[in-house]
Structure 1
Amino acid sequence: MLMALAHLSPSQKKPEREKEEESEDESEVLEESPCGRWHKRKEQVNQGNMPGIESTFLAMDTEEGVEVVWNELNFTDKRIFKAHEDKIRTMFQNLMVVDHPNVVKFHKYWLDVKESSARIVFITEYVSSGSLRQFLKKTKKNRKTMNARAWKRWCTQILSALSYLHSCDPVIIHGNLTNDTIFIQHNGLIKIGSVWHRIFANELPMPDDLRTPLKCQREEHRTLHFFPPEYGSVEDGTTVDIFSFGMCALEMAVLEIQSNGDKVLDENIKLAINSLEDPNMKEFILQCLSVSPNKRPSAHDLLFHRVLFEVHSLKLLAAHCFLNIPYITQDSLLEEKTKIIDPQGIMAHVPRRGQSAVLWRYSQVSSMELDKFLEDVRNGIYPLMNFAVSRPHILPRALSHSQEDLQIAKTPTPEPVEVETRKVTQMHCSLERREDKSRLHLTLYLKLEDKLHRHLSCDLLPNESSQTLASELVHYGFISEEDCQKMANFLEEALIKQRLPLN
């Protein structure tokens, strides 16, 4: 990186990694993205995608070393694609800025236009732990009832995601929320997938038999009961998702709704509801499953239902505040702070009249437990409920030109360097002197706005300035142009602390 990179060929200009990425088997790679970052594999996956997107493959993100999903949407008639190209771009740009810990991340897209056909490729987050339906099926084999705390935690996460989507401007309606499009990880984190289902079905120029999701779902009777009675006959709104959520919550509570073959009848649903022992849970689900859309509460209101609502602990509020501190890598900060704490020091005390105060010492708090708790909060397992009236999350009409032009590529040939447009939300660095004392070794940790991380390192020469370092980071596509001056100021402060003369 930086000055040393100036002497490398373009193919060599890559940051050093903390861990070596596993080499890919080239025989398994079917295609590369235009920027060369994503490698499409042969293995097809199902991540709750909409009907019509049959080409869904596992792929590797070579920059972050994680698996992702490679989705393809093909247009056999190029003229139809061209007529709707602006609408398609706007739609995909809006999807890219949707950011919630309980929603499957939409990373990037590009257009591949050929002489007579066109193709849209978009990259989404891969959730390897499986769908909620699979999890409930396994759970039912081992036990007959669902843990109430787990049920509340799952419902809170799903509603937190729906509240976010419904408060976006323009509003995002899922329209296909089932136990097949909800994923659960081993740590209890919920992820809603297929958020783009309704947008694609209603907006893209597709055949009529694919435009209405209900028509496709009729062939799959096991999911019909997730759709409200009015679905397909009137213009749907956010209440569609509330009904679907209510059915998901019911299945989570009873583990399985009995079916006649593949179809779940109304009688089976009533029996499942009547089997619930908690009256608050029963009332909560019945409100969601109301036949009248106007009587269904909003996702925001449901978070405050007495079956779910809990006053946030000071510990949880502090964790969220701590994790929202910009430009700090919390992991290293926590480790540094715990090293200098006196175990016998008093963290808090509770005075009692006529008795000695109750003391709480640092030795009573396990740093390992704090690490685990912070990780769970960071991942979205314990979202904060919105006490204020929900405010609209305005989605930008367009991203920067370099982002939206990723690219109308006639062939998937890799491009040399991609301009970075994502903003840096957190930054942290460390400086260590080399053994020869003439150079410093810089390690830079960056967190981008789409939650991805970068770990860069290099040796600094005595005559290098912070401005030069920041400019080279922009030049090689590690940070955006807008973050250049901020990065320069950040590096300058770090150099001053090392008492390194600046030039």
Structure 2
Amino acid sequence: MKSESTASPPTGQAVSSVSPPVSTVTQPALPATEDEEEESEDESEILEESPCGRWQKRREEVNQRNVPGIDNAYLAMDTEEGVEVVWNEVMFSERKNFKLQEEKVKAVFDNLIQLEHLNIVKFHKYWADVKENRTRVIFITEYMSSGSLKQFLKKTKKNHKTMNEKAWKRWCTQILSALSYLHSCEPAIIHGNLTCDTIFIQHNGLIKIGSVAPDTINNHVKTCREEQKSLHFFAPEYGAVASVTTAVDIYSFGMCALEMAVLEIQSNGESSYVSQEAINSAILSLEDPLQREFIQKCLEVDPSKRPTARELLFHQALFEVPLLKLLAAHCIVKGKELGQIQMLRKQSQCSNRNGIYPLTAFGMPCPQQPQQEAVKSPIVPPSVKTPTPEPAELETRKVRNGLI
């Protein structure tokens, strides 16, 4: 479900030089005015509590960046753990819509509570607030204070033209790990709303995806998909078919991987619409052919041709094995002497610079041992017990001058 925050991680800022230098006078910080103190107190005011009393909703809002399915989001306090969380609200347009979908919504939310993954924003609790004129579904999620990946990319673009390749690989691996976990659930959970706005980065580089938006929620809330600013992240079949598969997440991930590589995909002027020509141009600007191939596979128009998240984790663009260690492993598996490693290393100078798949990714023929037929005698010899040998006596006498 949705769990958003807007605080930005600290990044370097460009410093402009001024010539000639001008002396400045440092002024002491002014004390907070009464209006500012009152505004701060208003934001921390408790507006509502959960039925169990554990979560307290504050007035301070959390910007959801127009994420579909979330109508309101507020900062809240977990009184049991003493940490800040996000209080998300989904407003159903009509009460009868919720009644028709109540069991399905309950099943989806029960599954989301069970999710436990390092790279997925934690989903804590949900409940329904049913009244005569409105129906709300409220759910509590982890608060990500470090900001979204989109914000981080914008700040990075100010000082760099492209993203560091190692950082790109780490981010892609973490996102794919989370998607592989979601898609392996029974039944599979489709994120359905994967963009750089719904991916969060912490100060230590940890990536977490949030805003899991099942169609059970999206199709029955007042927030319309037409309001979104990131339509290019959605697969072509989204909305064209009755039921989508996990392949829609792979397409969205491919767009995220492209935006992470080029930092920003140019939109059409003042409009937020990103054309297919702009996407193709961004792909062609990538210098690494493996990176281009990796993204192009994710953006296949035919969903059946897109690889799974697990398969992408072992793509050569991400998976890298030090060449010498890999050759040593091959020598051990094949039963060769380790002294031959240096010779094999020279022969493999043309190997892929990113290494190859691990040994488990391809089958290696095991040497077949010659089988010897066991000859059985038709006569079974009787079992005879061997006599127990008598204990040997130890010599304790000493020899002196050749005599005992």
- Name whichever structure is richer in strand by fraction: 1
Deviation at 1:268, TM superposition (A): 1.2
CA distance in 1, matches of 2:130, 2:225: 31
Residue 310 of structure 1: how far off its partner (Å): 3.5
Give the direction of change, closer, same or farther, for the CA distance of 1:102–1:268 in structure 2 (3 Å limit). Answer: same
Change (3 A) 1:94 1:171: same
Percent identity over paired residues? 66
The residue correspondences of 1:341-380 to structure 2 (distance < 5 A) are: none
Match of residue 233 from structure 2: 226
TM-score (ref. length: structure 1): 0.53
| Worse-superposed segment, 80-89 or 282-291 | 80-89
| Equivalent residue number for residue 152 of structure 1 | 169
Aligned pair 1:196/2:213, yes or no? Answer: yes
* Partner residue, 1:279: 289
Residue of structure 2 in register with 1:177 after alignment: 194
Q: Pick one of 266, 275, 278 that aligns with 1:268.
A: 278
What is the Cα-based RMSD across aligned positions, in Å?
2.6
Are the equivalent residues in 2 in contact too, given 1:47–1:193 (CA < 8 A)?
no
> Which 10-residue stretch deviates more, 263-272 or 295-304?
263-272
| Aligned residue type for 1:73 | V
For structure 2, the 5+ residue unaligned runs are 1-39, 323-337, 340-357, 362-404
Match of 2:11 in 1: none
TM-score (norm 2): 0.65
Shift of 1:102: 0.8
Matches within 5 A, 1:303-322: 303-310=313-320
CA contact (8 A) 1:47 1:126 kept: no
Show CA shifts across 1:74-132 (max 9, x none). Answer: 34644443443322222211111011111111100122333554322110111111111
Change (3 A) 1:283 1:266: same
CA distance in 2 between partners of 1:295 and 1:80 (Å): 36
**Distance apart, 1:158 and its partner CA:** 0.4
Q: Which moved more, 1:30-39 or 1:245-254?
A: 30-39
Q: Distance in 2 between matches of 1:287 and 1:168?
A: 23
Structure ID, larger Rg: 2
1:392-434 deviation line (CA, Å, top 9, x unaligned) = xxxxxxxxxxxxxxxxxxxxxxxxxxxxxxxxxxxxxxxxxxx
Q: SS of the counterpart of 2:158?
A: helix
Kept after mapping to 2: 8 A contact 1:39/1:59: yes
User: 1:48–1:193: 8 Å Cα contact kept in structure 2?
Assistant: no
Q: 2:266 matched to which residue of 1?
A: 258
State whether structure 2 residue 268 is matched by structure 1 residue 244. no
Q: How does 1:19-34 map to 2 (within 5 A)?
A: 28-34=45-51
Structure 1 match to 2:98: 81
Question: In 2, are the aligned partners of 1:47 and 1:127 still within 8 Å (CA)?
Answer: no
Give 5+ residue unaligned stretches, structure 1.
1-23, 211-215, 313-351, 354-384, 389-503
CA distance in 1, matches of 2:200, 2:216: 20
Tell me if structure 1 keeps the 8 A contact 2:105–2:217: no
8 A Cα contact 1:72 1:122, kept in partner: yes
- Aligned ranges 1:63-212 → 2 under 5 Å: 63-75=80-92, 77-202=94-219, 206=220, 210=223
Q: Secondary structure at the match of 1:160?
A: helix
| 8 A contact 1:49–1:193 mirrored in 2 | no
Question: In the TM superposition, what whole-angstrom CA distance separates every residue of 1:304-327 from its partner, at most 9, and x where no partner exists?
Answer: 001111359xxxxxxxxxxxxxxx
Judged with a 3 Å threshold, the aligned counterparts in structure 2 of structure 1 residues 60 and 25 are, in CA distance, closer, same or farther, namely farther
Matches within 5 A, 1:361-440: none
CA distance in structure 1 between the partners assigned to 2:305 and 2:98 by the alignment: 40
Distance 2:283 2:93 in 1: 47
Q: Given the superposition, is the C-alpha separation of residues 91 and 228 from structure 1 closer, same or farther in structure 2, using an over 3 Å criterion? A: closer
Aligned pair in 2 of structure 1 residues 67, 295: CA closer, same or farther (>3 Å)?
same
| Number of residue-to-residue matches in the alignment | 284
Change (3 A) 1:73 1:142: same
Is residue 2:299 matched to residue 1:293?
Answer: no
CA shift in 2, pair 1:113/1:291, >3 Å: closer
- Distance in 2 (alpha carbons) for counterparts of 1:286 and 1:38: 44
Alpha-carbon distance between aligned partners in 2 of 1:310 and 1:288, rounded to the nearest angstrom: 20
CA deviations over 1:208-238 (Å, ceiling 9, x no partner): x75xxxxx34344x41211222221123211
Q: Secondary structure at the match of 1:218?
A: helix
Distance 1:79 1:269, change over 3 A: closer
Q: In structure 2, do the counterparts of structure 1 residues 287 and 96 end up closer, same or farther at CA, with 3 Å as the change threshold?
A: same
Task: Decide whether aligned partners of structure 1 residues 141 and 217 sit closer, same or farther in structure 2, where only a CA change above 3 A counts.
Answer: farther
Is 1:45 the counterpart of 2:53? The answer is no
Give the letter for the 1:158 counterpart: I
In structure 2, C-alpha distance between the alignment counterparts of 1:226 and 1:117, rounded to whole Å: 32
